[in-house]
Each structure stands twice: as C-alpha cells, then as structure tokens.
Amino acid sequence: MDLQSLKNRFSIIGNTPSLNHALNTAEQVAATDLTVLIVGESGVGKEVFSQIIHSLSARKHNPFIAVNCGAIPEGTIDSELFGHEKGSFTGAVDSRKGYFETVSGGTIFLDEIGELPLGTQARLLRVLETGEFIRVGSSKVQKSDVRVIAATNRELIEFTQKGRFREDLYYRLNTVPIRVPSLRDRKEDIPLLFRKFVVDFAEKYKTKPIYLDDSARDLLTKYSWPGNVRELKNIAEQISVLSKTDHITELELAGFLPQQQANKMPMLTGNTPVGEFANEREILYKLFFDMKKDVNELKKMFLEILQNPTISGQTTSFSREALMNELKEDLLPTSAHSNIPSGNNPAPTVQLPHQQPVIIDNEMQGHYEVEESLNIMDKEKELILKALKKHRGRRKDASTDLGISERTLYRKIKEYDIEE
C-alpha cells in the first residue's frame, strides 16, 4: 500500500518527513509479530498507529483491544490483564479471564506502559519472552499468542535509571521503536488539520465552516499546542460552536487559545533577544532593570551638580559633603573619595525613594519621605502606553519592544481599557 492510500484509509493528514517516516515504519513492521513501542506526547495519535499495525497484519481478523494502563488501579491490573481464580481475593466471586487470554491470536495495545507496577512488569516480561502467564490465585501455567504493542508519553530509559521501570522489559518492548512527532514539530500540517476539523464540525452541527484570515493562521501555527492534535481538534470545535462569525481574526482566535504560563524564571543575558520574552513576568523584570538604570542616572546628575556649582547658576542649597558621602560608594571608586568637595554646615535629612539620606539646608526643619507609586499594574500600563505611542499604534512592533507576544499585548490592552 502506498503512503497516500494509507493516510486516506486512516484519515491521517500531514506530509512532514517525521510523520511519513513513522507511517512507513508502522507499515513495514505490521507484517511481522515483533513487539512495537510507540513513543510520543499525549494527544499525538499513538493509538491510531497501533490500529494501523493491527489492520495491516495477519492478525487483522482476530481481536484487538486497547488497554490504558494508567487508568486501572494497581490492585486490580494483574486480574485485568491475566485473569483470576474464584476466591483469589476479596470480591473474586467467580473465575475471570484476562485480556491476554481473551485476545489470544490478536493484538493488545498497552497505552501508558510506564504506569505499570513493577510486579505486573515482571508478569508481562514473561508473556513476551515465553508466551506464558498464570492467573491470579492459580498455579496453572497457560499459553497466549498475543502481539503486544506498547505506547508511552514518557522517556522509559529515564524510568529505568530511577528504578521505576524494568530495564529488561524496556529493551524487550523496544524491539521496533516508532516516534510520533508532536504537532509543534509539524507546523505546516496545522492549518490542514484545522481545516479538516472545522469542515467536519460544520457538517455535524449544520453550520457554515469557519475560516481564518492570514494573521489568525499565523497565530495558529505559532502556538505550541501542548495537547497536540487532541487540543487542536477541541479548539476547532469550540470555535465552530461559539464563534458568532465564520471569519476568524487573530484577536478572535487568541480568545480561544489558553494563556500559556512560563514554568521557568527568565535568564537575562547579553545575547538574549528581546523578542524571545514570552509573558508578563518578563515585563516586570524589564521594568525593574529600567528603574535601576534611571536611579543611577539621577545619582550621576547630582554628582555633576555638586562638583560643578556653576551648572545651577548659583550656590546649591544642598550640603555637598553629606550628599556625596551617600552617593560615592555607588558611583566612585575608593581612590576617588578624597577628591569630593566638603562643606561645614550640618543640617536635617530627607529620605529619597532609594532610601539614602540627603542633607538639606538649615532653613528646612525635620525630615519627610518622598514616595512614588510602586504599583506593578500602573507601571505595566505605563510601559504599554509608551510602547504604543513610540510605535504609533503598531501592536506588533510594540509587543516586540515590550518583550511579550502580540496575543498577550492584546489581552493587556483590553484589561487596562487602553484607547489606541
């Protein structure tokens, strides 16, 4: 069977090399009885590959069963897979056949194989190596002719290093590995898949198919799709049902996409381009660094005035010696301290926002604190307004300058009710 016919038969859309390689491997291994391990993130369609292998094999007319190992409680999974005898445990009122017995001659698909308990892993290894198993509560050895296809969204080799998965079972399962690519690794397939889903939902709900404009299509492909094809299908259905128009813009599409949260603190280096910043947290870091820079500039300005009284056109009312003693540690090396001019008039202090005392003349008595707003939301709104003004309302340029995505900027504009 050629590759395109295989895709048509199993409704597979896409033409990326990694996807084609996975399909070719599945087709080639189907004619054998080799154990297959399908690896891929949740939602990429691993079960479809197991069905392809079974349907193209000599076992296609025999039973096929898919078992989610992570959904079966640890206390009953041995019974589910291998069966049990009457009275073998509380609640075992009768004998029961397990999947390896009922599906003999066919194929069993063990999804999320990494969730199997270690005891069950030992039983499974015996089935794979000898074709033998024993029911729970029995001593009679039984035979089973079952092809095993396993799947996982974890890296099992790491589980073996941590003692959570048997190394011998891993290599026995990994006879033929098939890695299914994630959706973000096949971006060119995303618009095709989305179009297929919206057409199907339009037919299902008796509505007109929606379509995306260029900017919305660009956002669709840039989104990371952590839920892969399953998430894409859910979004397509949401838009098909909830959208009030069949023409979807970038802003409307952004309303259906979940807000992605960063799990790691940003690392700011000289080689990090601003465009790589992806969320609001990084706006705050940028704001704090800018504030620190402004404070340093103010300190330098004060030093210039104190060292050159003629700049102000008259003798300054500040006591130079006291002020410079407060600033010199930040701005001047130790060897330069002796060059700072001095004064003799003591005076009360005033507390500046950076919390360093400054001497004022004797005519002012007491002291007071000068404070500015440190509300993060106010500063964030101020930065957004400045960026929009700087780039004359061009949101794409403004979002790049701010170090956030366009979608985040749109949401912030609405949140702060900013008029452009």
Query: What pLDDT, in 10s, does the model give residues 143-155?
Result: 999 999 999 999 9
- Average pLDDT for the chain: 81
Query: Quick one: 129 and 245 in the same domain?
Result: no
Give the helix ranges, DSSP H, for 213-279.
Answer: 214-222, 228-242, 250-256
Query: Quick one: 340 and 292 in the same domain?
Result: no
Query: What pLDDT shows up at residue 395?
Result: 83
Domain range for 163:
3-181
Is the per-residue pLDDT at 106 higher than 70? yes
Query: What pLDDT shows up at residue 368?
Result: 46
Q: How far apart, in whole angstroms, are the C-alpha atoms of residue 71 and residue 112?
A: 9
Query: What pLDDT, in 10s, does the model give residues 147-195?
Result: 999 999 999 999 999 999 999 999 999 999 999 999 999 999 999 999 9
Question: What's 244's domain CATH number?
Answer: 1.10.8.60
Query: What pLDDT shows up at residue 315?
Result: 44
Query: Quick one: 325 and 195 in the same domain?
Result: no
**Secondary structure element (H or E) that encloses residue 148, with its range:** strand 147-152
- Per the structure, the count of domains in the chain is 4
Is the per-residue pLDDT at 46 higher than 50? yes
Query: Quick one: 162 and 234 in the same domain?
Result: no
Query: Quick one: 119 and 233 in the same domain?
Result: no
Question: What's 135's domain CATH number?
Answer: 3.40.50.300
Let me know if residue 70 belongs to a domain. Answer: yes
With 0-12 / 13-18 / 19 or more C-beta atoms within 10 angstroms meaning exposed / middle / buried, residue 59 is buried
Is the per-residue pLDDT at 218 higher than 60? yes
Query: What pLDDT shows up at residue 271?
Result: 45
CA distances from 19 to 13, 35, 84, 365 (A): 10, 20, 41, 78
Task: Among 256, 275, 298, identify where a domain stops.
Answer: 256
Higher-scoring residue by pLDDT: 230, 329: 230
3-state secondary structure of 302: helix
Q: Which of 29-43, 58-72, 286-300 has the lowest mean pLDDT?
A: 286-300
Query: Quick one: 210 and 280 in the same domain?
Result: no
Query: What pLDDT, in 10s, does the model give residues 340-390?
Result: 444 444 444 444 444 444 444 444 444 444 455 667 777 888 888 888 888
Let me know if residue 367 belongs to a domain. Answer: no
Q: Which of 44-53, 256-265, 322-331 has the lowest mean pLDDT?
A: 322-331
Cβ atoms 3, 24 nearer than 8 A = yes
| Contacting residues for 91 by C-beta, under 8 A, at least 6 apart | none
- Phi–psi pair at 150, nearest 5 degrees: -110, 160
Strands 64-68 and 349-351: unpaired
Q: How far apart, in whole angstroms, are the C-alpha atoms of residue 117 and residue 121?
A: 6
Nearest to 60 by CA among 6, 23, 27, 105: 105
Q: How far apart, in whole angstroms, are the C-alpha atoms of residue 52 and residue 6?
A: 9
Let me know if residue 368 belongs to a domain. Answer: no
Query: Quick one: 168 and 56 in the same domain?
Result: yes
Query: What pLDDT shows up at residue 278?
Result: 43
CA distances from 53 to 10, 23, 107, 166, 180 (A): 11, 10, 9, 25, 14
Higher-scoring residue by pLDDT: 123, 418: 123
Query: What pLDDT shows up at residue 89?
Result: 83
Let me know if residue 168 belongs to a domain. Answer: yes
3-state secondary structure of 42: coil
Query: Quick one: 394 and 348 in the same domain?
Result: no
Model confidence at 328, pLDDT cuts 50, 70, 90, reads low
Query: Quick one: 13 and 160 in the same domain?
Result: yes
Query: Quick one: 97 and 151 in the same domain?
Result: yes
Is the per-residue pLDDT at 281 higher than 70? no
Query: Quick one: 75 and 10 in the same domain?
Result: yes
Query: Quick one: 197 and 280 in the same domain?
Result: no
Task: Among 130, 154, 181, identify where a domain stops.
Answer: 181
